Amino acid sequence: MLEGKKILLGITASIAAYKSILLLRLLVKSGAEVKVIMTPGAKDFVSPLVLATLSGNEVVIDIQNDNQWANHVMLGRWADIFVIAPLSCNTLAKMASGLCDNLLLAVYLSATCPVIAAPAMDEDMWRHATTKRNLTLLQKDGIDILPVNKGELGSGLTGEGRMQEPEQIMKKIIQIIGGFKLLSGKKVLITAGPTHEHIDPVRFISNHSTGKMGLALAEQFNNAGAEVLVIAGPGVSSSLNISTINVLSAEQMYNEVMSKASEQDVIIMAAAVADYTFLHPGNKKIKKKDSSLTLELTKTKDILKALGTSKKKGQLLIGFALETNNGEANAKEKLKSKNADCIILNSLEDTSSGFGYDTNKITAFLKNGTIVPFELKSKMEVANDIVNLTIEMINEKN
Ligand code: CTP
């Protein structure tokens, strides 16, 4: 995956440094050549001997050593990417202010390659205004700062500040220098938006779906290299150059999706498909007569269920469940009854989440029983999380 790539792994003094060993192993296994550079304090957290053995290269630490000092410009030029993981609060502050009192900082200041950093610190330090200011400064300087995870921290407290897992950092490295995209060659069909069920030529019933989530998914799957086809309800269109077929009714969406389904590797039913349509839609405008009007509805075809029944081997089916109550139980039930691989639960009980918002809060229910809750995020970030989940599910299937 990273054959021939040159990676400089910077390690600073943080308890998370033990995970750098795993990251180093992943990098070496993926074919990269890795050189490790440490701050002097990092030696207390992880053994240079282990890092030298695993990387097959001498670990660079000491600014006083003449041979190593001469190398700092060359190291920054040698690398295709400089990955600082973990990035401690101290090194963050030094990088933000341009200090250069160790070799890692000297290499940072002379690096000509992309630099990414995975911070690790206690939650209070992570939330401190100084840390936020320093992170913003580094981002302005073009450094890619990875988000932190929530969980158990070195202090024994639980909160935000855990360094990302080595697999997450790997993904980012691959995205930046891998030269290929993780979903290249995969065909992904995404439905988006509402459907319109016609009463007569001038009226219809529908729902509040705007298609924002489906379009965000289309964009992120496209970014990940997939060949994306969107089947969208009325009024929903992507500003990007993504193949889109617009349909009106649930019946039309069913026909379009089913006719394209067998070619797809992944199908995501993000559309809010009407569950009922009119049994006898009029072809002339219904005139106002009696004080009440009764129109008979009939069930539409459940597209996701039909896809679940005809699912081809290796194909991934992802559905959404929009719930106002009993979210978890309903999502689990839908996962089973529709033979889906994943159901993304959207609860209208969560504020700033659902139709029309630019943010969303989801929980993913996977076929293997795993439940993955996510924070409230922008729909683009949510879509990126779903891309990552999809990649994990594809890898699990293979
Ligand atoms: N869905 C579908 N075809 C339908 C209705 C829904 O493919 N006719 C899909 C949606 O796109 C979504 C999933 O099924 O991915 C769940 O939709 P949702 O409306 O939450 O649930 P329903 O199955 O329609 O059940 P209910 O409305 O009773 O919750």
How far is CA 272 from each of CA 142, 155, 211, rounded to the nearest angstrom? 39, 45, 8
Atom of ligand 1 nearest to the CA of 304: 7
How far is CA 219 from each of CA 133, 141, 186, 264, 327, rounded to the nearest angstrom? 31, 27, 14, 17, 27
Q: What is the pLDDT of residue 380?
A: 92
Q: Are residues 252 and 146 in the same domain?
A: no
Q: What is the mean pLDDT of the chain?
A: 93
> Over 90: is that where the pLDDT of 395 sits?
no
Select the more confidently predicted residue: 91 or 290: 91
Q: Are residues 82 and 173 in the same domain?
A: yes
Q: Does a structural domain hold residue 182?
A: no
- pLDDT, mean of residues 128-141: 96
Mutating to test ligand 1, I would choose from 267, 275, 333 the residue with most ligand atoms within 8 A of its C-beta, which is 275
> Over 60: is that where the pLDDT of 69 sits?
no
Q: Does a structural domain hold residue 209?
A: yes
- pLDDT, mean of residues 66-89: 82
- pLDDT, mean of residues 378-391: 92
Q: Are residues 235 and 168 in the same domain?
A: no
Ligand 1 in reach of 126 Cβ (< 6 A): no
Q: Please name the residue whose Cα sits nearest to atom 4 of ligand 1.
A: 302
- Out of 151, 177, 203, a domain closes at 177
Q: Please name the residue whose Cα sits nearest to atom 12 of ligand 1.
A: 320
Share of the chain above pLDDT 70, in %: 96
Atom of ligand 1 nearest to the CA of 343: 15
Phi/psi at 272 (5° precision): -95, 85
> Over 70: is that where the pLDDT of 89 sits?
yes
Q: Are residues 51 and 144 in the same domain?
A: yes
> Over 70: is that where the pLDDT of 77 sits?
yes
Q: Does a structural domain hold residue 233?
A: yes
Q: What is the pLDDT of residue 180?
A: 61
Q: Does a structural domain hold residue 335?
A: yes
Q: Are residues 147 and 46 in the same domain?
A: yes
Q: Does a structural domain hold residue 102?
A: yes
- CATH number, domain at 213? 3.40.50.10300
Q: Are residues 247 and 153 in the same domain?
A: no
* Contacts by 205-212, CB closer than 8 A, 24 or more apart: 205/274, 206/274, 207/272, 207/274, 207/355, 208/272, 208/355, 208/356, 209/233, 209/271, 209/272, 209/355, 210/236, 210/355, 210/356, 211/235, 211/236, 211/271, 212/356, 212/357, 212/358, 212/379
Annotated catalytic residue within 65, 71, 149, 207: 207
For residues 249 and 46, what is the distance between their CA atoms, to the nearest angstrom? 60
Number of domains, the chain:
2
Q: Does a structural domain hold residue 27?
A: yes
Select the more confidently predicted residue: 152 or 125: 125
Whether 207 is catalytic is: yes
Dump strand ranges (E) for 208-274: 227-232, 243-246, 266-269
Q: What is the pLDDT of residue 71?
A: 65
- Out of 141, 158, 177, a domain closes at 177
> Over 90: is that where the pLDDT of 6 sits?
yes
pLDDT digits (tens, 9 = 90+) for 331-384: 999 999 999 999 999 877 777 777 778 889 999 999 999 999 998 999 999 999
pLDDT digits (tens, 9 = 90+) for 279-301: 999 999 999 999 999 999 999 99
Band of residue 62 on the pLDDT scale cut at 50, 70, 90: confident
pLDDT digits (tens, 9 = 90+) for 231-290: 999 999 987 789 999 999 999 999 999 999 999 999 999 999 999 999 999 999 999 999
Q: Are residues 242 and 164 in the same domain?
A: no
Most confident of 116-120, 178-182, 222-226: 116-120
Q: Are residues 329 and 230 in the same domain?
A: yes
Q: Are residues 320 and 375 in the same domain?
A: yes
Q: Does a structural domain hold residue 217?
A: yes
Give the structural domain span for 116: 6-177
For residues 255 and 205, what is the distance between their CA atoms, to the nearest angstrom? 20
Band of residue 63 on the pLDDT scale cut at 50, 70, 90: low
- CATH number, domain at 20? 3.40.50.1950
- Out of 177, 195, 220, a domain closes at 177
For residues 308 and 29, what is the distance between their CA atoms, to the nearest angstrom? 37
Q: Are residues 26 and 133 in the same domain?
A: yes
Q: Are residues 221 and 316 in the same domain?
A: yes
Q: Please name the residue whose Cα sits nearest to atom 6 of ligand 1.
A: 273
- pLDDT, mean of residues 188-211: 97
Residue with tokens 């390659």: 113
Q: Are residues 300 and 391 in the same domain?
A: yes
Atom of ligand 1 nearest to the CA of 303: 7
- Asked whether the beta carbons of 45 and 14 are under 8 A apart, the reply is yes
Mutating to test ligand 1, I would choose from 254, 273, 335 the residue with most ligand atoms within 8 A of its C-beta, which is 273
pTM of the model: 0.67
